[in-house]
Amino acid sequence: MPAGPPPDTGGDPLARERAHLSVSRAALRVMREETENLDIRDVTANWVNAAVLQAQIEERVKALADLADTPLFFGRLDFTRPPGLKDAEGAEGERFYIGRRHVHDADGDPLVIDWRAPVSTAYYQASRQRPMDVGRRRRFGYTGGELTAYEDEVLSGPGSEQSDPGTSKLLQREIERPRVGPMRDIVATIQPEQDGIVRSDLSGTVCVQGGPGTGKTAVGLHRVAYLLYAHRDRLARTGTLVIGPNRSFLSYIEQVLPALGEMEVRQATVADLVAVPGVEVRGEDDARAATVKGDARMAEVLRRALRAHVSMPTEGVVVVRGSRRWRLAVYEVEELVRELLDRDMRYGAAREALPQRLAHAVLVQMERAGEAPDDRVQATVARNAAVKATVNAVWPKVEPAKLVLRLLSDPEFLAEHAEGLLDAEEQAAILWPKPARSVKSAKWSAADAVLVDEARDLVERTHSLGHVVLDEAQDLSPMQYRAVGRRCSTGSATVLGDLAQGTTPWATRTWAEALRHLGKEEAHIEELTAGFRVPREVIAYASKLLPAIAPDLAEVRSVRESPGSLLVRHVAEDARDAAVLAACREALGHEGSIGLIAADTRVPALASALAEAGLAHLEPGTETTRESRLTLVPASLAKGLEYDYVVLDEPAAVVAGEADEPTGLRRLYVALTRAVSGLTVLHAEELPGALAAA
Ligand SMILES: Nc1ncnc2c1ncn2[C@@H]1O[C@H](COP(=O)(O)OP(=O)(O)OP(=O)(O)O)[C@@H](O)[C@H]1O
């Protein structure tokens, strides 16, 4: 059975597409009802299985919901010949509707194909140069859940020469659709260069360099959804994780995966990952201390400090059993300790192995003496008090947080283990001004918590997940990359970032170096060059900063012309706040979200000014609604976010808010690239860097 309606031989194509939509919706309803009515008593009498099954069924019922405002399908492929059966999800037809999920009719024939199915690849990848057996590609446009438009591209056969793809109007409309609420998915319009990354294989790590608004975040999230589809069982076992820079960003992206039917993906910041009870982050480092603490050399300092706890025995072991005494000489114990030290084992695992090794050596003596001890005897000897005492003396238990506490509190201990790694100035920079008395009372900083995580991993191997997506990666320190890397040591990663947007003193300089710290040197690096968010005029303005902040990077190629989208105005200092309010009011005259971005230090004053003017505002991380559309964004939290209209307050203050000028200019570059439809820059001071040149 062909999957869709008969070929277009006349009549109103839109009406026929709508008919297919109704049929598909009805079929989805039936699928849902069938799932709801599944009587699991027929399947299992075991209550544990029943509970698990019931939960799975409920998940499936949820997944089969027909959401009124999410189109069931968004595209159609007409193949010139049936694609290989293997790829066709069992369909023999030549026409496929592509949507968010698979829908089939009563006979099991597909009405809508999941966007992640192999046959859907052509929807995203086929071009006139490489038609992939596609004659026509149709994209659908919806207005409020109604199918209202379509756009055709003839990729092969008659008419293909005249068909000029250009920038799809539907794509343009989709990008410019006013933003309310959290980030939305892009399944309907994933572009070929993005799709290549989304569908790349689970086994390899991909690193994506892309300028502002090139879709890195979107691509990372769609890749997770794709991998979960293609490797569902494996990833259900091993787990997936999305890492973002802060809570506001995570709340902004949190709806994308559930909207794609994926409810089980954990989202966290690096700070969340390394958090442990008892090590409460209450302190802050200055830039110098944080930089040294984040340096990869710290891993070696920790390793040395930990191994220094192992000492060679000064006496042998005497095990008394009944009337007999068994002795291990000092040199025998030493040999066993050295053997464990030479092996690539975690400290804790080696500590657990040592009593067994000692017991085994005792057993060998027993056998030599004609006894026939079994495994139980070995276990008993391993628990013997003398053996335990030896283990505690030569391989003592180490608490990771205490180890770090000592390094940061005790100059001599630090000097001993940092020798040849950190110079005196670096050591002085990381020592706490006031030594801490206990783990509980110490004022741990974010960088300290990462050190504790490293120490923990040296003691006990960190659990690795199947796949990790790391967004805004350019801001991570080498030690943070290591923390992320051990969480995917046996899995793979998608690393997303933009070297021009690095705003930490330790920001990544090259991806090769970052990947080395992550432990994924073999990763391939991809580049996204087309910009979807920022209109051409605005990106050209922001890109004036590139020679100063990232000379090797090219300007993003915006897919959208939007004349009049940029307004830069000089105002007198005493008129600045009033001008900001006026710009916000004007922006509120448009549909969609508005971000007022300002230096962190300017935020309190602007918050009061907004309140006095009766303009309600939100904080980043709070969802915009049709009623509440204005967010006051401290520049330090703007990364990764976007608004239909942005008002940028005093660029010079944004730059001055950072430790040095290059970092300040990068922060400004981030702030300048958040707008989808319009950017208004208001300044009383001189514009920073290359923006000053007219
Ligand atoms: N193929 C696409 N179709 C429609 N919209 C897209 C597409 N790719 C990206 N976008 C939209 O462009 C905007 C920017 O995407 P995204 O936030 O993923 O970019 P980014 O590269 O992570 O940006 P930044 O570097 O600023 O964090 C989002 O609104 C996203 O939905």
Q: Cβ distance 504 to 184 under 8 Å?
A: no
pLDDT at position 398 over 90? yes
pLDDT at position 89 over 60? no
pLDDT band for position 316 (50/70/90)?
very high
Ligand 1 contact, 220 CB (< 6 A) = no
pLDDT at position 1 over 60? no
pLDDT at position 181 over 80? no
CATH 3.40.50.300 domain position(s) in the chain? 536-692
Distance CA 413, CA 458 (A): 18
pLDDT at position 158: 73
Among the listed residues 531, 677, 620, the one whose alpha carbon sits nearest the alpha carbon of residue 216: 531
Instruction: Give the type of residue at 609.
Output: A
Domain 536-692 has CATH 3.40.50.300: yes
pLDDT at position 92 over 50? no
Q: How far is CA 253 from CA 221, 503, 622, 642, in A?
A: 9, 21, 12, 11
Whether residue 211 is annotated as binding a ligand: the answer is yes
Distance CA 474, CA 503 (A): 8
- Average of pLDDT values for 259-283? 92
Number of Cβ atoms within 10 Å of the Cβ of 224: 23
Residues forming a β-bridge with 143: 146
For 603-662, give the DSSP string: HHHHHHHHHHTT---B-TTSPP-SS--EEEEEGGG-TT--EEEEEEE-HHHHHHTSSSHH
Index of the ligand 1 atom closest to the CA of residue 211 = 25
pLDDT at position 5: 46
Index of the ligand 1 atom closest to the CA of residue 214 = 21
Index of the ligand 1 atom closest to the CA of residue 528 = 21
Number of Cβ atoms within 10 Å of the Cβ of 28: 21
pLDDT, greater one: 231 or 167: 231
Atom 1 (ligand 1) nearest CA: 190
- Average of pLDDT values for 86-101? 68
pLDDT at position 537 over 80? yes
pLDDT at position 164: 55
Percent of the chain scoring above 70 in pLDDT: 91
Atom 23 (ligand 1) nearest CA: 213
pLDDT at position 344: 82
Q: Cβ distance 360 to 320 under 8 Å?
A: no
- Average of pLDDT values for 301-317? 96
Distance CA 136, CA 92 (A): 18
256 CA → ligand 1 middle, Å: 12
Task: Tell whether the torsion through CA atoms of 48, 49, 53 and 54 is positive or negative.
Answer: negative
Distance of CA 294 to the CA centre of its chain: 20
pLDDT at position 183 over 90? no
Ligand 1 contact, 212 CB (< 6 A) = yes
Index of the ligand 1 atom closest to the CA of residue 498 = 25
The pLDDT tens digits for 565-593 are: 999 999 999 999 999 999 999 999 999 99
pLDDT band for position 298 (50/70/90)?
very high
pLDDT at position 143: 83
pLDDT at position 342 over 80? yes
pLDDT at position 3: 44
pLDDT band for position 255 (50/70/90)?
confident
Ligand 1 contact, 218 CB (< 6 A) = yes
pLDDT, greater one: 262 or 416: 416
214 CA → ligand 1 middle, Å: 5
Ligand 1 contact, 675 CB (< 6 A) = no
For 546-605, give the DSSP string: HHHH-TTPPPPEES---TT-EEEEE--GGGHHHHHHHHHHHHHTSSS-EEEEE-GGGHHH
pLDDT band for position 166 (50/70/90)?
low
Ligand 1 contact, 174 CB (< 6 A) = yes
Record the pTM: 0.90
pLDDT at position 90: 40
